[in-house]
Structure 1
Amino acid sequence: LSLSLGQHHPILDGNVKRVLARYFMIEGWYGVKKVENQLWHLSEQLTPKNNVTEFNQAMMDLGASVCSRSRFDCEACPLNSGCGAFNAGKVKEFPHSKPKKAVPKKSCHQLIVQCGDKVLMEKRPNSGIWGGLFGFFEFNEYEELQTFLAQQGLEADLVELEAFIHVFSHFELKINPHVLNVKKIPDVVNDKQLVWYPLDQSIEVGLAAPTKKLVKQITAIV
């Protein structure tokens, strides 16, 4: 309305938001209602009663041509003497970008049963992450791993390897690997869901990326 009819209406397009955010060093992303309301309040205070059309057009032009997001020209800006971001040397920091969505973080414990140059793997369910691939025994909690060892009659004499993060598109998984060395291979060779995988990788089975990483790490230790 201010541009078409010359009425006293403040304007707040993306260019004007950027000018105000830098000039007043407005904290926060202007997609947040509180920050947007703050910018509207400033725009209302600054918009003159006369020559509204010219003022609003000048603000939009200033944001589009001089106070652009990345190719700003502060030296040519007529408002630089009072601009908070310019005088603080923080023009690149304003306006604040949209905050990145926090990535969920999960963790698990993996049991690597090793006998000489072979490690025991199980085939994962077809559904879920790494579906149908072979990997090490996985537990949500360390206590679950200990319970599993007790049920199998195995001593919990574990060697802990350094934990690492595997990043998925929608979450991060911290993997805590534990190695259990056994002197002889238990009789599980007839179980199609289990395989004694040679560290020289002489057989071909589908492995998840973290499993491949651990195989290389164990091979370097042996």
Structure 2
Amino acid sequence: YPILDGNVRRVLARYHAIDGWPGKADVTRRLWAVAERHTPGEDVGDYTQAMMDIGAEVCLRRQPRCAACPLASGCRAHREGNPEQYPVSRPRRARHRRATTMVMARDHLGRVLLERRPATGIWGGLWSFPECPAGRSPERWFREQFGLEIKSGAPWDSVPHGFTHLELEIRPLPAKLVGTTTIVESLDRVWYKPGSSLGRGVAAPVRRLLEQLQDHPF
């Protein structure tokens, strides 16, 4: 029976210069077809072991030893001078893009409001600034969420932050609470004085923003 493990797949993909990522169904079918065509009617075990050995010891993923390969004379990738281009790597997933406004709200004592993020999702359980959804007025949103008025300042430069699946654009917005009325702290909501000991886990971009707040109060 033909075999198509990772090493043999690499040997055959290079020998025939089979383009495309092997994880795709049509590429897999082509590889199985050539694997069946090359499999001899006799001494299959010896052939299979030889192919596996070539893939493991000669036709290496990086810096293949083509000069020592017994299949080099018939290998298309070797003749083309680009064996490491085969097999084609798995395509990278396109990362989603999302923007969020982090409202850096200060009270009359110079403290900023932090909230604990939900346990699931990005930065699960860490502390961050309240996030106003894209397209919403931060002042109106803050009033709806907390029952207090804020006066926004000039937005800071956006901060890009990448995840494996997401490209997040953070838009920091400094704001001040109007008056001296404040928000009562809770298990998931605290007031923090920039520069003091935080004692809580925060996301890396939030930590950098807190450091900037210490140096550039508004």
Normalising to structure 2: TM-score of the pair? 0.72
Which residue of structure 1 lines up, in the alignment, with residue 69 of structure 2?
77
2:160 corresponding residue in structure 1: 164
One-letter amino acid of the counterpart of residue 213, structure 1: R
Pick closer, same or farther for the CA change 1:166–1:220 going to 2, 3 Å. farther
CA displacement, residues 134-185 of structure 1 (integer Å, 9 cap, x when unaligned) = 5322122241524225664444443233222164x77554322111256x75
Work out which of the two has the higher radius of gyration on C-alpha atoms and give 1 or 2: 1
Paired position in structure 1 for 2:78: 86
- Which string of whole-angstrom CA distances, capped at 9 and with x for unpartnered residues, describes residues 1-32 of structure 1? xxxxxxxx544343322111112222233233
Cα pair distance change 1:215/1:78, threshold 3 Å: same
The equivalent of 2:216 in structure 1 is 221
Aligned partners of 1:186, 1:130: CA distance in 2, in Å? Answer: 31
TM-score relative to the length of structure 1: 0.71
Answer yes or no: is the 8 Å Cα contact 1:112–1:119 preserved in 2.
no
Alpha-carbon distance, 1:94 to partner: 2.0
**Alignment root-mean-square deviation, CA:** 3.6
Which runs of 5 or more residues in structure 1 are unaligned? 1-8
Structure 2 residues not aligned, in runs of 5+: none
Query: How far apart, CA to CA, are the structure 2 residues paired with 1:87 and 1:73?
Result: 14
**Counterpart-to-counterpart distance in 2, 1:196 and 1:41:** 66
Change (3 A) 1:121 1:91: same
Quick one: structure 1 residues 57 and 111, their matched pair in 2 at CA, closer, same or farther if it must change by over 3 Å? closer
Residue identity matched to 1:148: W
CA distance in 2, matches of 1:22, 1:140: 49
The separation in 2 between residues aligned to 1:23 and 1:220, in whole angstroms, is 61
Q: Percent identity between the aligned chains?
A: 31
- Residues 31-70 of structure 1 aligned to structure 2 (within 5 Å): 31-47=23-39, 55-70=47-62
Q: Given residue 178 of structure 1, which amino acid in structure 2 is its aligned partner?
A: L
One-letter amino acid of the counterpart of residue 188, structure 1: T
Structure 2 SS opposite 1:160: coil
1:6 maps to none
Which residue is equivalent to 1:138? 131
> Structure 1 residues 215 and 80 mapped into 2: Cα distance closer, same or farther (>3 Å)?
same
Partner of residue 187 from structure 1, selected from 181, 188, 213: 181
